[in-house]
A and B are shown apart, each in its own frame.
Chain A
Amino acid sequence: MKARHKRLVLLLAGLGILAAAAVLVFQALGSNMSYFFSPTEVLEGKAPKERVFRLGGLVKPGSLQRGQELTVAFVITDNHKDVAVRYTGILPDLFAEGQGAIAQGRLNADGVFIADEVLAKHDENYMPPEVAEALEKAHQRGKAQMQEAQP
C-alpha cells in the first residue's frame, strides 16, 4: 500500500470515530439535558409539561410535611411564587426549611412537582448560582409590582 493510501485510510478511520462520537454526543445531549426554572417561571407556564426539568428556590419555612413511609411534601418558593413538591426517598443532609434546594422531576396534571431527586449542597454558605439568580429576579419583580401598585 502506498503511503498516500495509508494516510487516507488512517484519516478516514479517525473521521469515522469522530462522526460516531458526534452522533452519540448529540443524541445523548438531547435526551439528558434538563433546564432550570424558578417557581415564578413555572407559574408563568414557561416550564415544559412533558419533560424533566429542575426547579430551584428556597424550601418554604413550615411547609415540610411527612406522609406515609418515606413520602414528603414541601413547597419551593422564590419569595414571590410557590410550587408544591412531592418526593419519595431520603432527603439530603443539608436539606432544611428556609435553605436553598434544587429538585429534579416533572409537573403532574395538578401542577404539583413530582421530584425524582432533591439536591442540597455541601456547604451551608453555598447557594447554587441558579437559585441565587432566581431569588434576585423574583425580588426585582416583586419590587416592580409594588411600585406599580402605589404610583
Chain B
Amino acid sequence: MIPELGHFALILALGLTLVQATVPLLGSLFRRPAWMAVARPAAFGQLLFMLLAFAALTWSFVINDFSVLYVASNSNSALPLIYRISAVWGAHEGSLLLWGTMLSLWTGAVLIFSRSLTAEMLARVVAVMGMVSIGFLLFMLLTSNPFERLLPAPPDGRDLNPLLQDPGLAIHPPMLYMGYVGLAVPFAFAVAAMIGGRLDAAWARWSRPWTSIAWMFLTLGIALGSWWAYYELGWGGWWFWDPVENASFLPWLVATALMHSLAVTEKRNVFKAWTVLLAIFAFSLSLLGTFLVRSGVLTSVHAFATDPARGVFILIFLAIVVGSSLALYAWRAPRIRSSGRFALVSRESALLLNNVLLLVVTISILLGTLYPLIIDALGLGKISVGPPYFNSVFVPLTAPLAALLGFGALARWKQDRFGRLFRLLRWPLAAAFVLGLGWAALMAPFKVGAAFGLVLALWVIAASLYALWLRVAGKAAPLAALFRVPRGFWGMTLGHLGVGVFIVGITLTSLYSTEKDVRLAPGQSHTMDGYTFTFEGVTHTEGPNYSADQGLVVITRDGRPIATLHPQKRIYHVQRMPMTEAGIDAGLKRDLFVALGEPLGQDGSWSLRLYVKPYVRWIWLGALIMAFGGLLAATDRRYRMARRAEAKLPAGAAAGVA
C-alpha cells in the first residue's frame, strides 16, 4: 500500500508541476496577478508530494519491504538501519527521486527566501524550475519507477553494493546532488531574467547567494567523494580523473567562474551576457554529469550496471534544456547592454581572465572526458584517455590562475596600475618566496616542482591574509574590526585560503608519496621513508553482514611505536563481493596507509599495499575551508538587508507592474 501511495504521490507531483511550469509563466506574460500567484501553492504542493514519495520509499527500506523491486535489489534484512536509509539513494531510481525531491526543496527555498523578488520574476523563476522538474518526474515515471513491485516478494533482498556501505558514501551523493540541483536556481534566474528581458544588478544580486550555496554543496560533495575513494577503494589515490569524477568537477569549475562573474555583474553592471551564458553552462554540465553517470556510455570505475534507454532520455532532455535556453539567449542577447567601462588593468580584467582560464580548463577536461565517446561514435576504435593527459593540461592552466588570484583580489575596480599593485603586494610576494623556498628546502629531497607549488600556494595565502589585514589596519581596534568585516569578504578570503591549502596538499602528496606492494609473512617487515611496517598476521572477524580477514600491522619509527593498523579484507555475505578496508593512520603532516591484498601461500603470507602520503589531508582541509567560505559569502548581511529594503519598497512597485 505504502509504495503505491508513493507512486501516486509522484504522479500528483507531476500534475502540479505541469501547472507550476505553465500558469505562472503565462500570468507573467499576460500580466495576470492571479495566475502568477499560482506559483506558490503549486510549488509547495509539488514539494509536499515529493516529500511523501521520498518518505514512502524510505519507509519501504526501513521495514524491509522486499516486494518493492528497488528495495529487494538494494537492501537486505541484515543491513544496518543507517545503510538501509542511505540505500534509498544507493542506485539509479532512488538517486533520481533524491534529485527530484531536492529540486522541489530548492524551489521551496527560493519561494521562502526571495520574498523581495517582483511577482513576475518569482513567477518565471518558479516556472522554469517547474520545467526542469517535469523532465525529472517524467524520467522517473517513464523509465525508472522506484516503486515497481516484485511479486511474489523474495524472502530477502540482494543487499546494497558493499562499496556503498560506508558513512562517507551515505552522505556523498546527497551533498553532490544538492550542488548539481542547486545550480538549477541560478539557471532559472538567468532564464527568467531573459524571458523578462531585464538583466540588471538586482538579478545578479538575487543569483549570487544561491550560486554560492550550490557551489558550497558541490565542493563538499566532490571532497567527500575524493576522501571516500581514498580510504574505501584501497587505492590510496584521491583523484583519478575518472569520467564520473570529471562529471562532478566540470560544473564546479563553471560554477566557480559564475560566482566571480556574478560579482562583476552586480557591482559594475558588465559581463551580463557572459554571466547568463555561464549560468546556462553550469546547469547543462550538471545534466551532462547525470547523463554520463547514468547511461554507462563511458568505462568508469564508477559505472554500475546501467540501462542505455535511460541515457537516451537524459540526452534528449539535455538537448531540450540546452537548446531552448541557448535559443532564448540568441534571441535576447543582442538586447543586453553592458554599461560599465573598465581599463585594461582593473579588477574587471582580472576577473575576466579568471573566467577565461576556468572556461579553458573546463573545455580541456570536457574534451578529454568525451574524446573516447567521440572517437567511438565515429567508428575509429575504442580508446581511453589516461590521467596523465588531465594532469599535463590542468596544472599549466591553473597555475597562472593561482598566480593571478593575489593581484585580482586587491586590484581596484575600473582602473588600476601594475606599479601600484606590485608595490602594495611586495611584502606578501617576498614572504611567499622566502617561506615557500624555505619549506621546499626542508622537504628531502629538494624538488623544483615542490618549490614552485609551495611558493604559489603561499602567495595565494599571503595575499589573501594581507587583503584582510588592509581592511582592518589603521582601525582603532583591529581585532574587533575583524568581526565587522562583511561576511562576503570573509567568504572570498576563506575561499582563496582554501585554494592555497589545497595547492600545498596536492603538491606535496603528488611529489613525495611513496607506495609499495609487498609480500609479507607474519613477523616480517618493510621499511619505507623511515617508517617500519611490521605485519603480525591475519585473524578472522565477523561483521553484521560480512566476514573479514583482519590484518594487524604495527608501524614504528626508529624503534618507537607510531600506530597499529587493522586493514580488513571483507566478504559481504549476500553479494559474495570482496572489499578492501584500508587501515589509515591520519595526520596533518602525513598519512600512513595499509591495504590488504590477497593471501599468498601456506605460511600466512599476504600481499600488502603500503603508502606514506605526506600532507594528503590538506587537500580535503582546503576544500572544507573553501566550502565554509561559500557559506559565509551566501549569508552576507547585504543580501538580507537588500531583501528587507526591497520588501518595504516594492509593495507599490509590484502592484504597479501587475
Contacts and interface: CB of A to CB of B under 8 A. Distances in A.
Interface in A56-106: 66, 69-70, 88-91, 93-94, 102
B384 A54 contact: yes
Contacts of B575: 124
A140 interface: no
A28 B392 contact: yes
Contacts of B387: 32
Interface in A20-60: 20-21, 24-25, 27-29, 31-36, 54
Interface stretch (A7-15, A107-115, A143-151): A7-15
A25 B578 contact: no
> Helix, strand, loop or mixed for chain A's interface?
mixed
A36 B384 contact: yes
Contact of A13 (B161, B304, B353): B353
Contacts of B297: 129
A129 B299 contact: yes
B360 A18 contact: yes
Contacts of A1: 343-344
A54 B575 CA distance: 28
A69 B526 CA distance: 14
Contacts of B368: 25, 28-29
Contact of B517 (A34, A89, A125): A89
B547 interface: no
Contacts of A32: 385-389, 392
Nearest to A93: B578
A90 B577 contact: no
A135 to B, nearest CB: 13
B618 to A, nearest CB: 26
B385 A10 contact: no
B446 interface: no
Interface residues of B, number: 53
B382 A10 contact: no
A70 B386 contact: no
Contacts of A122: 161, 163, 301-304
Interface in B274-321: 296-297, 299, 301-305
A25 B368 CA distance: 8
A66 B601 CA distance: 9
B305 A123 contact: yes
A21 B305 contact: no
Nearest to A16: B356
A8 B576 CA distance: 64
A70 to B, nearest CB: 5
Given A1-B344, A10-B352, A121-B301, A90 B393 contact: no
Nearest to A96: B578
Contacts, number: 122
Contacts of B344: 1, 6, 9-10
Interface string B217-247: 0000000000000000010000000000000
B600 interface: yes
A129 B296 contact: yes
Nearest to A27: B392
Given A124-B577, A125-B305, A34 B386 contact: yes
B291 to A, nearest CB: 15
Contacts of B360: 17-18, 21
B607 A28 contact: no
A8 B349 CA distance: 13
B425 interface: no
A17 B577 contact: no
Nearest to A15: B356
A100 to B, nearest CB: 11
B110 interface: no
A65 to B, nearest CB: 12
Interface in B344-370: 344, 349, 352-353, 356-357, 360, 363-364, 367-368
A126 B305 contact: yes
A91 B343 contact: no
Contacts of A9: 344
A88 B382 CA distance: 26
B397 interface: yes
Given A21-B393, A128-B299, A34 B383 contact: yes
B198 interface: no
Nearest to B308: A129
A93 B352 contact: no
Contacts of B385: 29, 32-33
B31 interface: no
A99 to B, nearest CB: 11
A91 B297 CA distance: 25
Nearest to B363: A21
Given A119-B301, A124-B577, 9 more contacts: A17-B356, A24-B393, A28-B368, A29-B368, A33-B371, A34-B383, A54-B384, A70-B600, A94-B578
5 contacts: A1-B344, A28-B389, A29-B389, A34-B386, A119-B301
Interface of A: 1, 3, 6, 9-10, 13-14, 17-18, 20-21, 24-25, 27-29, 31-36, 54, 66, 69-70, 88-91, 93-94, 102, 119, 121-126, 128-130, 133
